[in-house]
Structures are given as C-alpha cells and as structure tokens.
Chain A
C-alpha cells in the first residue's frame, strides 16, 4: 500500500509539472507579443531570446497603430461586418432551426436533407468565386456578410437544442391559440438563451477572424477588414503599410513593436471577452457532440 502511495505521488508531481509546462508553452507566444508591444523599441531590437518582462515601457507603438488610417478603417469595417453579420446569421439560423424543429411539419425531412447535403457537396473554390461575381457581390462589403450567413453545422446545433426543449409549454400555448410567431418569440427564444449565446460567439469569432474571403473578393482597400490589414503588416511584412500616415524617422526600430502592438489590438477584444464566455463555448462543443 505504501509503495502505491509513493508511485501515486510521483505520478501527480510529474503530471502537475507537465501541465505547468503546457500552460507556459500555450501562453508564452501571446505573452511575448504583449511584452514586446510595450517595450522600448531600441532595447527590443538588441534583445535576444525570450522575454520575461517588458524592456522599458513605451506605449508609442500603440499610439502609432491608432494613428494609422488603414488600421482604424479596418477596425471599423470589422466591427460593422461582425455586428451585421452576427445579426443576420442569428436571425436566419433561428428561423431555419425553428422550421426544422416543428415536429409535425410535413416537409421537415426534405428540408433537412436539402440543408445537410451541402455539408458533403460543394462546388469548390472557383465555382463559388464565379458565383459571387455573377451575383454582383464582388468588391462589396456584403460579400463578407451574406454568403457566409448560415453555417449548416450551427443550424443543426440550434435545431437539436430546440428539440430538447419541453414540448408541453409549446403545446399549451398552441391550444390557447398562440400563433407560431408568438411561440417562437415568447417561448422558444427565451428558453434558448444558452445556445443563442454560444452561436453568437461562434459566428462572432468567425467573422472577426475572417480574412480569406476578403482577400479574394475585395479589391478596394477602404473595405478591408482588420485581419487583412494585419496580414499585410505581419505576413507580407510591409513596413510602408505599417507606417502609413505616420511621420517617422526611426522606421526600422519601431517596426517590430508596431507589429506586436497591432497584433495585440486585434486580439484583445477576443482575449477580453474570452474568460467570461468560456462556459458557453464549451457548451456548444458538447451540444455538437450529442449529434455526432
């Protein structure tokens, strides 16, 4: 028995140590970016290796990020796309799920098939691109809102949730002569707050982080979402775009800290809401697995 306790103890110690290292590895890249963003650019330039604390303190990079017109416009565009997009997505998802969760509706199965099939067959990149062009959505900000308005997966999640609601309330309301509109807005939606929260977050994060569609469908820089601007700065490493509208004599020094500050500015909204919403995220995954 004693020996068993001892191996247990060793196991626990190693396990905790392993988890601790895992946390460090997970957080370090973001921490590095954060510490770099508030560091003195000249000291950062000379620094080698990992950062454990900020090298000096300099918020100048943030000031320059927000003085950059493309970044500010990008932010505005992303906020618009995210809010409008989530609103449209949620209305459509709720309506689709409402139809599919009517137990006695005649075409329920047909519509379900019609929707689910699209998860397995798609025209692919080029036919979709042609379609967008034909529809006249090319180079319009709505291309980031309308074509991705529905995620079939999310529709199924919401339908599963609706079907799990107690049927009696609805039946009682119907017997009292309540319309379907009333049933949806006064009974189903108030009871479905958790799943609505989950999907608002799913859609929201998706829209906020989206860049690929923007990169192929938008030509006009004025409409670029923030992620696309970020791509120019971080990936294409384009210092001219980085310093746009900023009078600078020391471009090379601020290059690195500005990259970090931009990254932080784009990621902070998500990092900020994340801890409060974590329980909802998890709930969403588990709902999804019920189906699978």
Chain B
C-alpha cells in the first residue's frame, strides 16, 4: 500500500513540479539497479560506436597517426575530390551498384518464390524436412563457404568436371572477371534462400484460411488463389524488406568478396568497401579511405530516405 501511495505521489509531483532534476533524482532512487547497470552499456556505446565517429574528421585531413586527429593538417574536401577524379571511382561505384542490382533482381525474389511454393506443400513432415535443410547453410561460416567455392571453381574442381562433361573446356572460374557476379550472387542464394524465407512463411501461415475456402467455393484454381490471396497477404512484408534492401544498395558485405576476389577479377569484383579496406589497411592511406567510406555512408542514408519516401507515396507503407 505504501508503495502504491508513493507511485501516486510520484505522478502528482510530475504534474506539480517541473523541476526535472528533482524528478530524476527520485527516479534514480527508485531504479538504482537499472541505472547502475546501464552505465557499462552506455560506456560501451560511447567507446566503440560514438568515439570512432570523431575519426570521420580524418577524411578532411592529411592524417598522421603520430599527430593524432587534432594535430594533423586540414585539407578540406581534397580526398573526396581526388576520389571522384580517380580512375577507380567509376569502377568501384559501378561494381557496388551492379552487384547490388543483381542481388535485388535474383536474390531478393528467390525466398519469396520459395516460400510461395513451400506453402503449397501440405504434408507437414516434408515441409519440416525442407525447411531444416534449407536453413542449414545460413550457419556455415563465410570462410568455409568461400573455401568450398574456391575448391569447386579450380580448374580441376567439381564445376570444371561438370563443364567438361557437358562438352566445355576447363577454365579457372574464379579468375574470370565476367563470372564473378554469377558466383557471388549464386552462392548468396545458396546460403540465404531458406533463412530469408522464414519471415514470408510466417506471414503466409497467418493468412485467414476462410479466404481460401471462399475462393475455392467460387471456383478459383491454385494459381488464382496464389495470385489473389497469398501474394497480397505478404505484399506489405515484401515492400518493407524491399525498402530496407534499397537502403543498402551501395553497401555490400566485403568479407565474402575479400575471400573470393583477386587482381584478375577486380574489374567486376572490387567494390567501395573492399577498396576502402585495401587503401586503408594495406596502403595506409588513412584519410583517403575514410573519405571514400564516408561518401558511401552518406549515399546509403540518402537512398534509404528516398526509398522510404517513394514507398510512402505509392503504397502508404513506410518504415517511419
């Protein structure tokens, strides 16, 4: 009872006493444990997420680790300009855009189609088995996946055995620039098809079965039902995920690319993030690569805002 009374008093004081500090002190007393334990969390974010933000200043400097961020010479937008004028600018932006576009065209719809067809399998046992199997590659490490790709793509590897069997000639597949996007996107689909379908499958199972029954009575066939009931049922999810995906159009995981590319395939495989990685951590062009990285994040944010705005207009579905 006493506690309850305290809560009421507390609420009253919120109305009567605008002194925020007093209120905060009271809150501190009430949630002592929560406030103490949040300190390391705040510290973690400050040290590992907020502190590096000031490193962005490096992009506008001739950064020298000995002088630190405050002692280095300021050069304004020089690094950005030199990146825009470099012969690599076009190549890395194009590759980043193209690899993302291929992912959008091939990788994005794959789990949707898979979910639609899996949904048509009514025997729960088989459905379970298919799900268990297709989720599996999601947990296999990038290094292992790339190791298998490297092994299969070698000139005496499995893919070449198949190519030869079909009458082609053996080529070291990972050294062919024009094949890189195929290998990259193909293996992504292999890895993520099942896992990405989970969210669609859950949406599908929440569609009202009465809708299907009614459609059956009206004489609708399988595809008709798929088109008029199932697809509209998952459309909002598809659109939200699509917006998020477009927001990432110019960002691309570089771990897999670093493991798979080589100077022979830079022409199609070198993307902004791998360029930043090489320039920064191998050539030690700290400032320059920070500038390139920042260019990338700014474009990403703009794309996300833009995609969201378009979707809001067209479909009235938005992230915020």
Q: Which of B172-208 contact A (CB under 8 A)?
A: 190, 193-195, 198-199, 202
B150 an interface residue at 8 Å Cβ cutoff?
A: yes
Instruction: Return A219 CB to nearest CB of chain B, in Å.
Output: 13
- The docked-state distance in angstroms from the alpha carbon of A231 to that of B146 is 9
Q: Which of B128-179 contact A (CB under 8 A)?
A: 129-137, 139-144, 146-148, 150-152, 158, 161-162, 164-165
Q: Which of A177-205 contact B (CB under 8 A)?
A: 177, 179-181, 184, 205
Question: Are B136 and A102 touching (Cβ within 8 A)?
Answer: no
Looking at chain A's contact residues, the main secondary structure is helix
Interface range on chain B: under 10, 10 to 19, 20 to 34, or 35 or more? 35 or more
A169 an interface residue at 8 Å Cβ cutoff?
A: no
Instruction: Return B2 CB to nearest CB of chain A, in Å.
Output: 9
Question: Are A122 and B42 touching (Cβ within 8 A)?
Answer: no
Residue of A nearest to B53 (CB): A123
Question: Are A278 and B135 touching (Cβ within 8 A)?
Answer: yes
- The docked-state distance in angstroms from the alpha carbon of A127 to that of B54 is 8
- The docked-state distance in angstroms from the alpha carbon of A7 to that of B225 is 14
Question: Are A285 and B222 touching (Cβ within 8 A)?
Answer: no
Question: Are B55 and A49 touching (Cβ within 8 A)?
Answer: no
Residues of B that sit less than 8 Å from A by CB: 3-4, 23-24, 27, 31-35, 37-38, 40-42, 44-45, 47-56, 58, 65, 114, 117-118, 120-121, 126, 129-137, 139-144, 146-148, 150-152, 158, 161-162, 164-165, 190, 193-195, 198-199, 202, 221-222, 237, 240, 244, 255, 258-259, 273, 276-277, 280-281, 286, 289-290, 293-294, 296-297, 301
Residues of A that sit less than 8 Å from B by CB: 4, 7-8, 11-12, 15-16, 18-19, 22-23, 25-27, 29-30, 32-33, 48-50, 92, 95-96, 98-99, 102, 105-107, 111, 114-115, 118, 120-131, 133, 135, 146-147, 149-150, 174-175, 177, 179-181, 184, 205, 208-209, 211-212, 216, 227-228, 230-231, 233-235, 237, 259, 263, 266-267, 270-271, 274-275, 278, 281-282, 285-286, 289, 292
27 A-B pairs whose Cβ atoms sit less than 8 Å apart in the complex: A22-B114, A26-B137, A26-B194, A29-B152, A33-B148, A50-B161, A95-B37, A102-B31, A120-B301, A123-B54, A123-B56, A124-B293, A126-B58, A126-B276, A126-B290, A127-B54, A128-B52, A128-B55, A130-B55, A147-B48, A208-B141, A209-B141, A209-B143, A230-B143, A231-B147, A237-B150, A263-B144
